[in-house]
Chain A
Amino acid sequence: MTKAMQVLVGLLADARHKLKTADFGSYAEMRLLLDQSLDKLERALHRRPTVVVAGESNSGKTSVANMLAGLDVLPAAVIANTTVPVSLRHGIVPTVSAVTTNGRVPLSILAIEEPLPKFLMGGLERIEVELPGMRDAGFEILDTPAWPVEGLASETADILIWCSVAVRPWTESERRAMIDLPARMRDRSLLAITNKDAIAPAERARVLSRYKELAGPHFSDMVMIDAAFQQPDEEDEEVLAQNSKGDHAALLDALEQLVDDYWNHRAMTGRRLCRHIARSLRPGIPARQGENGTTAVSDPDPVSAILINIAGRLATV
């Protein structure tokens, strides 16, 4: 989390604390209003970013999603097998739910590997997987079927990871898919060049330079990884594991930049919200003595003092 966010979160906690300890008495209505505003602020501040993993068929989306989750949750196979979007998020106990047109159906009875019952497939919009392991991830993941996805709620996407296979560096159909995306979705976008190991180390720089030339303008950043398509040979396993650890770190580093950017953006929104709350507070502050201009306020009542304090801090973040 970025510094700007920490300031905001601190501010929020401070305001909450003050509200809790003060005795509002006759200003209960005022307090309710403020509480609601702060709730709104909190929600806005705390929404974890959704990372949408997209790309053409068999571009390694699921492998990348697994890499981000740090777990081999989703089955990756040679034929594109993700047919509905799957979201991975933090939950205290592992649960799988189906989000259908009729609402959310928990599939607690089913194991993850089991196929889904047919009746769900009709109106199925996405599968939600909640995992305790995602607690520290700082984001939610949405693994998508081959692009373009019909009717995918693009407004939920905060960060885009586009997967492209290194052995086929950047195609016209990929370019078109990118330019057809709403600009908002392209703001924070990472190009994950997968299947790095199929390219000889000496040639990687050249592949990367082609990507930079042709795809560069569409992305905030790009990273070359080996989202493991190949089962490692036994002896190589250690080497490969190390390798992919390096790739993993590189991917997470690149993503962290975007997540920071996301939080910065959030913080901006948060500050705007703060100023808005501050503005809406002022007319209601019960310090009418000063307004009459008769006497200077020597001893403002405690509630007013708190509200002025809060409004002042909110207005100046």
Chain B
Amino acid sequence: MGESALLEEGRRVPVTDTPAATGLEPLREGGIGGSLETLRRELLELGARLDRVVEPSGKSLVAEAARLLERQVCKIAVIGQIKSGKSSFLNACVQIPELLPTDVSPWTTAITSLHFQQRRPSEPAAVFQFFDEQEWQRIAEGGGLLRELTERLVPGFEPELLREQINSLRLRAASRLGPQFTQLMGQTHSYEELCPEVLGRYVCAGDPVTAMRDVESQLGRYSDITRSADVHCAGGPFAFPTTVLDTPGTNDPFLLRDEITRRSLESADLYIVVLTARQPLSDADVALLRILRGLHKERFLIFINRIDDLADISQDQREVREFVKNRIAREFPDADIPIITGSARWANAALNQTSLSQPFDRRSLAYFVETGLMRREDLVRTAQPSSPPRSDLKDALLTSSGVPAVYEAIDKLMFESHSAHVLRQVAQCYAELARASENTINGELQQLTELQSTAATTAKRADSHLPRLDAELRQLGEVAQIIETSAKSIDEQMREIVQEEISNLRQSLTAEMQRYADEERHVLTDTLRRGRGPSEWRCEADSLRRRLAEIFMAGFNRSSQRLVSLQARVSPELYQLMSMIVPGSPPPHEPDARGLPMPSPNISALSTAVVLDLATTWWSAFLRRSPTPEQRGDEVAALICSEFAAVIDEMASKAEMALMSYGTTMSKWSFGICNSIIEALRRRREELRTAYDGLAAEAGGTAAPESVAQRDQDIAKMRARYTEAAAVAEKLQSILPELRSPEHRSGPAEPTE
């Protein structure tokens, strides 16, 4: 009990309760995702305890769930336009000021994954993976997706720019690595320890060949061929295992990097969109956010960096925040997206002792005084070059940097993440398993006690028990069969529901696309007929994307509701069967649909660039090929359909996968639990039957004293197991409500949309 009491203690310091004004330290104790991590550890421990009380056939379920728990990692992607300060923000956020290299020109070339709380003893600290021959060929020779798109639109059309870029990429790789650089393809480089210089070699752009400062410079040496970097970091603010992704900026004229970033958007649980205060939410930012719209809207937060660049920090900051808030509200009408202003530079200065002892710029200091974080009379000392590091300056810097607010927001968002969902599923499964074990053990206990009292009587009476036991065994067999067949039929029902829903979804998505294509055909034909040039018309595929996302979300919610209600129908049936064989089972717990929302799949398919996104000049080239307005309209409509058909396909299959995996996991676990109990009961009863047989064999006489003592021991052991199972079940029951997201936890839960 001592250990769980400690855990209990640990949970008393939830991160969200720490006042934001005190800087980073208090968070470090609890850590981001601290409460989720505590729950995860508790579940792991309860799993181990459960493993000791469940039947052997239940052990594999427990182990499977435990493996799931072990594997949980929250992935946070930091994204934004080039030069928004993503890398500096990340350095501040993970509290390692000079980890990722930063520079005045766009600098990050590869996706860098920073792993926290995940390093296994034998793993290297950093692994860099190079493109393999094939990928390189595809990028260097073909120019990746963009080239594909262009080719599809205008066969034979070769964008000069892309070719130039690819040439310079090749040239640079060769000049940095020598002509033999292709030999590195597909390889990995690993390091036992990591320093910023090493990282710089792989993920920094370095200088262009034409302006290389130092021929021997290692900076960016491998950057052209590095596909990904995986770095394990010690420390950091995270309690829950977390991976943070630093991405190359979007809106880079170096088109290939943009493409790399877009591809990485697929897999993260949370997104931090970094904007710069001086150019908040430009059109390029909005374009990026629109891509994210395909993802869960409660899964991202916005950080407005570089408020220290503003002329009047407090006034301008308010204006910028208001502006962003309004624009976000327009783009995402019903979402509550956290918007945080701050400065990574301030946070990094606070984390770096040497910079704290240097004089600080006056505008920032004036702002700290204005907001009451520093006293005016202390400013003089700060300006002295040799003053010792100032703790009040440090606190002011941290508080104003926005980083603590980001921590809080991440901590909250983690409760919505996929990991939290897995924790909920596991807790639910464990709770049911524990409860069922408790009941079976209880039933068995009764039988054993009865047997013990029977033992004192005659063999004749023992004989009379035999037919009853036989009958019970038969019943068990029947129930097991019923469960098996109903499991099959439930499985079929589930498949039917999923198939029906997916085909409905596909139909409504396709109808929307068709409607849009017809509309665009009409608009274009009309524009051309009125004698306007094709450049007057621009296909804004975004409105289609928006509609598709809406339809998808609505459809998916309906489907998941149907599955959950199927689940809700199945549970009582199962329990009814169970109560037939284990009398006195408590009534089934209603599976709480609110507690177990199915996370919808991300629809990053929507963000796939389609030819419709290409620049106007390419469009004109395309449109010139067909002579009449009608033909051009037809071509465009056909193009829209062929482009988006693939997108819709991918969306539908994603939804199908999500629904199927939810359905199969839930039914597998429920039936697994039942089956393991039936199995156990059958085995026990067979044992009992042998025991009675033994009793009968001790014809006429009384039972041997040693077998009585043996049975007494068995009963005592079983009692202990019963108590343990009951304790575990109790504990799990108390954990379940804590796993609900904070909004759901407080007050009566509202029905979800």
Contacts and interface: CB of A to CB of B under 8 A. Distances in A.
A200 B102 CA distance: 14
A233 B363 contact: yes
Given A171-B82, A171-B251, 16 more contacts: A59-B279, A167-B104, A168-B82, A168-B83, A168-B276, A168-B279, A169-B83, A169-B106, A172-B251, A174-B253, A195-B278, A198-B309, A210-B208, A213-B208, A229-B309, A231-B312
A230 interface: yes
Contacts of A210: 105, 208
B223 interface: no
Nearest to B315: A78
B615 interface: yes
Given A78-B311, A171-B284, A209-B208, A58 B258 contact: no
A230 B210 CA distance: 34
B323 interface: yes
Contacts of B712: none
Given A58-B278, A168-B276, A173-B284, A78 B616 contact: no
B699 to A, nearest CB: 94
Nearest to A215: B253
Contacts of B9: none
Interface stretch (A97-105, A175-183, A289-297, A300-308): A175-183
A158 interface: no
Given A58-B278, A168-B279, A78 B320 contact: yes
A128 to B, nearest CB: 27
Contacts of A174: 253
B210 A213 contact: yes
Interface string B188-222: 00000000000000000001101100000000000
A24 interface: no
Contacts of A180: 615-617
A165 B83 CA distance: 11
B255 interface: yes
A176 B617 CA distance: 10
A105 B340 CA distance: 44
Interface centre among B208, B323, B363 (most CB of A within 10 A): B208
Interface in B267-310: 276-280, 282-284, 309-310
A213 B211 CA distance: 10
B288 to A, nearest CB: 11
Contacts of B604: none
A203 B104 contact: yes
Contact of A78 (B252, B258, B316, B617): B316
A206 interface: yes
Contacts of A59: 279
24 contacts: A57-B279, A78-B277, A78-B310, A79-B319, A79-B323, A165-B279, A167-B309, A169-B105, A170-B253, A171-B251, A172-B258, A173-B283, A198-B309, A206-B104, A207-B104, A207-B105, A209-B208, A209-B210, A213-B210, A229-B309, A230-B311, A230-B363, A231-B311, A233-B363
Interface string B245-263: 0000001110100100000
Interface in A227-248: 229-231, 233
B81 interface: yes
Nearest to A198: B309
A33 to B, nearest CB: 36
B362 interface: yes
A57 B211 contact: no
Interface residues of A, number: 36
A140 interface: no
Nearest to B323: A79
Contacts of A168: 81-84, 276, 279
Interface in A126-173: 146, 165, 167-173
A56 interface: yes
Nearest to A202: B104
B616 to A, nearest CB: 6
Contacts of B211: 206, 209
Contacts of B210: 209, 213
Nearest to B277: A78
Contacts, number: 97
Interface residues of B, number: 37
A120 interface: no
Interface centre among B84, B104, B255, B616 (most CB of A within 10 A): B104
A148 to B, nearest CB: 9
A231 B309 CA distance: 11
Contacts of A206: 104-105, 207, 211
Given A179-B615, A203-B104, A173 B362 contact: no
B83 A167 contact: yes
Nearest to B210: A213
Contacts of A209: 208, 210-211
Contacts of B320: 78-79
A56 B323 contact: no
Interface in B222-268: 251-253, 255, 258
A214 interface: yes
A26 B263 CA distance: 82
A29 to B, nearest CB: 40
A50 to B, nearest CB: 23
Contact of B253 (A172, A199, A207): A172
Contacts of B251: 171-173
Nearest to B361: A233
A79 B281 CA distance: 10
Contacts of A79: 280, 319-320, 323
Nearest to A205: B211
A272 B265 CA distance: 59
Contacts of A169: 83, 104-106
A206 B206 CA distance: 11
Nearest to B104: A203
B276 A56 contact: no
Contacts of B615: 176, 179-180
B283 A165 contact: no
A58 B309 CA distance: 13
Interface string A41-59: 0000000000000001111
Nearest to B306: A167
Contacts of A199: 104
Interface centre among A200, A206, A207 (most CB of B within 10 A): A206
Nearest to A57: B282
A36 B265 CA distance: 66
Nearest to B283: A173
Interface string B597-641: 000000000000000000111000000000000000000000000
A14 B598 CA distance: 87
Pairs of residues from A and B, 9 with the lowest C-beta to C-beta distance, nearest first:
A168-B83, A78-B316, A171-B251, A203-B104, A58-B279, A210-B105, A173-B284, A172-B253, A209-B211
Nearest to A207: B104
A171 B252 contact: yes
A124 B617 CA distance: 30
Contacts of A175: 253
Contacts of B255: 172
B723 to A, nearest CB: 65
Contacts of B319: 77-79
B279 A56 contact: yes
A98 B131 CA distance: 58
A144 to B, nearest CB: 15
Interface in B531-567: none
A198 B310 CA distance: 11
A203 B276 CA distance: 20
Interface centre among B81, B83, B255, B362 (most CB of A within 10 A): B83
Nearest to A230: B311
Contacts of A78: 277-278, 310-312, 316, 319-320
B341 to A, nearest CB: 12
A178 B5 CA distance: 66
Contacts of B312: 78, 231
A165 B278 contact: yes
A56 B208 CA distance: 26
Given A199-B104, A209-B211, A210-B105, A57 B617 contact: no
